[in-house]
Structure 1
Amino acid sequence: MAFQPEPVQEPASMLAPEKQAMKARKMWVDSLLRIMKSKTSFIGLLIIALLLITALFAPLIASHDPAAQSIVDRYQPPSGKHILGTDELGRDIFSRIVYGTRISIQIGLIAVGISLIIGVLLGGIAGYFGRWIDQVIMRIIDIMMAFPSILLAIALVAVLGPSLRNAMIAVGIVGIPQFARIVRGAVLSVKETEYIEAARAIGAKDGRILGQHVLPNCLAPIIVQATLSIGTAILDAAGLSFLGLGAQPPSPEWGAMLSDGRAALQTAPWVITFPGIAIFLVVLGFNLFGDGLRDALDPRLKQ
């Protein structure tokens, strides 16, 4: 009887894509239920939802034109006419905070998008190919992490020029090392699994393995880091605007509002109090939701 070798068993992701898709959907549904059951993550989700609603319906929510000036009404305390008072130019603070939510969302999404795309690409290549490629990429990442993030962002904006766009680019570049390290660690643990070895055995190319099998199995830590980084990006951009390196007047950016109102801290404290509270709540919301998302996607906590 002639010897017949056993057929090579293809990875489960190739043999039964429908089962893999059902398993993935079940994981995300279970994770969503875990998030909804967590009080802290649910509070964070509510804050984020409120932020999005405010940004979408800013013209309907705002009571005044955020750029309208009235010298007669300058430094008015909170009242029926101006819910949160006015600033040094008589502009309604509530309306400026409402319109500032749009800028904050823009900052968070664009800055984190830059960090995410470049960081995932560098971390994936370094973790999968290893050797000298890994050494070169990670030494560059180490150099970037040697600088305090805010100082590196200030240096980048100083080179590019002060503007909101350049501030978002700088904050995005500063966030690359976190994504690169997380993705590299995840890729190192995934690339040695059996289904990756099976994919190599049937002749799949490295690009296909990395894009279709390795990185999709690293999504959980990437999503968690992206959620947490949005709050950090908003906070860093507010810091740059406070220093005059980010959003420029008359943009209703919260950090710029803090910078404009610091001269009246003792006489009109509401000018900086309410923008500061807005920054605090947004960063808190993303941090709470990110922590809950991390717990929900952690397989060790499913029981």
Structure 2
Amino acid sequence: MSLQPSPLPEPHATDQNSIYEHQGQSMWKRTISQLIKRKTSLIGFSIILFIVVTALLAPVIATHNPTAQSITDRYLAPSSEHYLGTDELGRDIFSRIVYGTRISIQIALISVGISLVIGVILGCLAGYFGRWIDQVIMRVIDVMMAFPSILLAIALVAVLGPGLKNAMIAVGIVGIPQFARIVRSIVMSVKETEYIEAARAIGAKHGRILFQHVLPNSLAPIIVQATLGMGTAILDAAGLSFLGLGAQPPTPEWGAMLSDGRAALQTAPWVVAFPGLAIFLFVLGFNLFGDGLRDAIDPRLKE
């Protein structure tokens, strides 16, 4: 009677999924731990949290109606009645900035959402299938990146028409190339790994491979790019509003407030100083948090 070792059982799909899930949980735990250790990321997160809370509690925090006009109160300096002064129509600047946080968050989320969805789809198609699909998509992306982002956004708004909704669409389209190029590079490297080859060998369809195996391993850089893209979206939208192509009066959008107050820059500097400071803090918060998130996710970067 010959004794032969029994073959080891092959891992089931459920076992592999549990391994991937455990690895994903470990990565996010490590990411959160690294974020907590970085002061800059905590500062950025605190700024973002402050802006979100301000937007949610805008009716409680605001001291005046943001669109109410009072000609007798034009260009009042900051005081106990008007914390940040008033503008050329006597509107309370503090209340307009507080309500402007809602518009800025809306701009950031919708614009980046458009960029993310379309960019991820194009990047997946180009990176996974390659060949002529990759050539066509990437040549279009190259053409879009040949133009400065603000000029391309102005051209798109000129076609679509001025307004906050069209400005968000234009800013979203301008941000597509960054997501497409990042996702394409990741997909091209991930699709050559052993577990993707194994999925193809058992007859998995392209859609299942992309959505169950490739995209989950591409989430980290996509999230980082989305976080950094929030600040860029606000700057582009503010630039369009400053030129009169974005939010229209009396919408309390920070870029439009800068445009309305530039005529009184020397006589009433608070009219442009405080909206500009709001834009600065918003962009700074997302940039600091995005940089910290990128460093925390990248395993090559250690303390």
TM-score by length of structure 2 reads 0.95
Q: Tell me the amino acid that sits aligned with residue 239 of structure 1.
A: G
2: distance between equivalents of 1:197 and 1:18?
19
2:189 paired with 1:192: no
Q: Secondary structure at the match of 1:192?
A: coil
Match of 2:3 in 1: none
Match of 1:23 in 2: 23
Count of residues in correspondence between the two structures: 298
1:85, distance to aligned residue in structure 2 (A): 0.2
1: distance between equivalents of 2:193 and 2:166?
41
1:174, distance to aligned residue in structure 2 (A): 0.2
1:17, distance to aligned residue in structure 2 (A): 2.0
Q: Secondary structure at the match of 2:251?
A: coil
Identity of aligned residues (%): 75
Match of 1:101 in 2: 101
1:42-94 CA distance string (max 9 Å, x none)? 10000000000000000001111101111111100000100000000000000
1:15, distance to aligned residue in structure 2 (A): 3.2
Q: Secondary structure at the match of 1:79?
A: coil
1:7, distance to aligned residue in structure 2 (A): 10
1:173-198 CA distance string (max 9 Å, x none)? 00000000000001011010011011
Q: Tell me the amino acid that sits aligned with residue 263 of structure 2.
A: A
Q: Tell me the amino acid that sits aligned with residue 292 of structure 2.
A: G
1:36, distance to aligned residue in structure 2 (A): 1.2
Match of 1:34 in 2: 34
- Residues 1:44 and 1:8: Cα distance change in structure 2 (over 3 Å): same
1:9, distance to aligned residue in structure 2 (A): 6.1
1: distance between equivalents of 2:50 and 2:107?
17
Q: Secondary structure at the match of 1:274?
A: helix
1:299, distance to aligned residue in structure 2 (A): 1.4
1: distance between equivalents of 2:87 and 2:181?
43
- Residues 1:13 and 1:35: Cα distance change in structure 2 (over 3 Å): farther
Q: Secondary structure at the match of 2:300?
A: helix
Match of 2:139 in 1: 139
1:8, distance to aligned residue in structure 2 (A): 11
1:248-301 CA distance string (max 9 Å, x none)? 000000000000000000000000000000000100000000000000110112
1:19, distance to aligned residue in structure 2 (A): 2.9
**Where in structure 2 are the equivalents of 1:142-221 lying within 5 Å?**
142-221=142-221
Q: Tell me the amino acid that sits aligned with residue 241 of structure 1.
A: S
User: Is contact 1:13–1:20 with CA below 8 Å preserved after alignment?
Assistant: no
TM-score by length of structure 1 reads 0.95
- Residues 1:245 and 1:13: Cα distance change in structure 2 (over 3 Å): farther
1:25-46 CA distance string (max 9 Å, x none)? 1211210111111011110000
1:200-245 CA distance string (max 9 Å, x none)? 1111011110111011101111000000001100110000000000
2: distance between equivalents of 1:51 and 1:13?
44
Q: Tell me the amino acid that sits aligned with residue 34 of structure 1.
A: Q
Q: RMSD of the TM alignment (CA)?
A: 1.7
Match of 1:66 in 2: 66
Q: Tell me the amino acid that sits aligned with residue 197 of structure 1.
A: E
1: distance between equivalents of 2:34 and 2:53?
24
2: distance between equivalents of 1:8 and 1:124?
34
2: distance between equivalents of 1:232 and 1:147?
16
Match of 1:3 in 2: none
Consecutive unaligned residues in structure 1, runs of 5 or more = 1-5
2: distance between equivalents of 1:30 and 1:296?
8
User: Is contact 1:9–1:198 with CA below 8 Å preserved after alignment?
Assistant: no
